[in-house]
């Protein structure tokens, strides 16, 4: 059974019929799959393309990422950034920090990324906004805390993208009361009912929620 909500054949069709990504991302994908445990946490080609499109559409110059894993997502976004743009990415795992550094070295995007090792709840507090785009893809239990932390640092017309919000359909199973599932379910309920936010869940890969501040 797939860990993702999109039919694998449909996802593959979408990848084939989308503009090809940089070859460096294919190499990062291969290397991550072969060397890192939990490779399914990587966003993959289709979501990587989607993140790049967000960078282009928002005209982002400053991006914040919470949860780097192997660096695939931050490389994808960095490749879409104009020169002078910067990504601050937070990652708690030393192994994943090293993998992210290697990925950016491979892609030639090291000058566009600043990697902050440690607990993102502490690291983000010390980062100065405003950010045009924020990508949250870290521990699910802290999704609400991350959202509340980054909102004051988001530009008025900025966008927040939050990954895994359909959680392999487990959000539908009310018998699933595991910490992560409950956290995502509560996160989804919260952002959809807040008067200060506008949110939409996009059913791509494992679910991606896009959030902006209400006018």
Q: pLDDT digits over 39-49, tens only?
A: 888 999 999 99
State pLDDT tens for residues 177-191: 999 999 999 999 999
Q: Residue 1 falls within a domain, yes or no?
A: no
What CATH number did the domain enclosing 45 receive?
Answer: 3.40.50.150
Q: Residue 49 falls within a domain, yes or no?
A: yes
| Confidence check: pLDDT of 91 > 50 | yes
| Confidence check: pLDDT of 126 > 70 | yes
Q: Residue 187 falls within a domain, yes or no?
A: yes
Q: What is the pLDDT of residue 159?
A: 99
Distance CA 141, CA 180 (A): 5
Over residues 31-52, mean pLDDT: 94
| Confidence check: pLDDT of 74 > 90 | yes
More confident residue, 74 or 2: 74
Domain span including residue 94: 8-213
State pLDDT tens for residues 140-164: 999 999 999 999 999 999 999 999 9
Q: What is the pLDDT of residue 1?
A: 36
Q: Residue 3 falls within a domain, yes or no?
A: no
The total domain count for the chain is 1
Q: Residue 205 falls within a domain, yes or no?
A: yes
Q: What is the pLDDT of residue 3?
A: 65
């Amino acid at each position: 059974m797939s860990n993702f909500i999109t039919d694998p054949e449909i996802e593959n069709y979408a990848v084939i019929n989308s503009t090809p990504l940089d070859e460096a991302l294919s190499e990062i994908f291969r290397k991550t799959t072969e060397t890192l445990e939990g490779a399914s946490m990587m966003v993959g080609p289709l979501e990587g393309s989607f993140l790049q499109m967000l960078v282009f559409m928002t005209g982002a110059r400053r991006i914040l990422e919470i949860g780097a894993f192997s660096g695939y997502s931050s490389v994808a976004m960095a490749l879409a950034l104009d020169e002078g743009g910067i990504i601050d990415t937070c990652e708690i795992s030393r192994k994943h920090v090293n993998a992210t550094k290697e990925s950016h070295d491979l892609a030639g995007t090291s000058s566009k990324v600043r990697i902050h090792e440690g607990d993102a709840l502490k690291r983000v507090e010390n980062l100065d906004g405003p950010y045009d785009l924020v990508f949250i893809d870290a521990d699910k239990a802290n999704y609400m805390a991350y959202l509340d932390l980054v909102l004051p640092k988001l530009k008025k017309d900025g966008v927040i993208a939050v990954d895994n919000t359909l959680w392999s359909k487990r959000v539908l199973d009310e018998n699933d009361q595991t910490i992560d599932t409950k956290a995502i379910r509560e996160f989804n309920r919260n952002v959809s009912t807040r008067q200060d936010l506008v949110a939409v869940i996009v059913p791509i890969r494992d679910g991606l929620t896009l959030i902006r501040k209400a006018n």
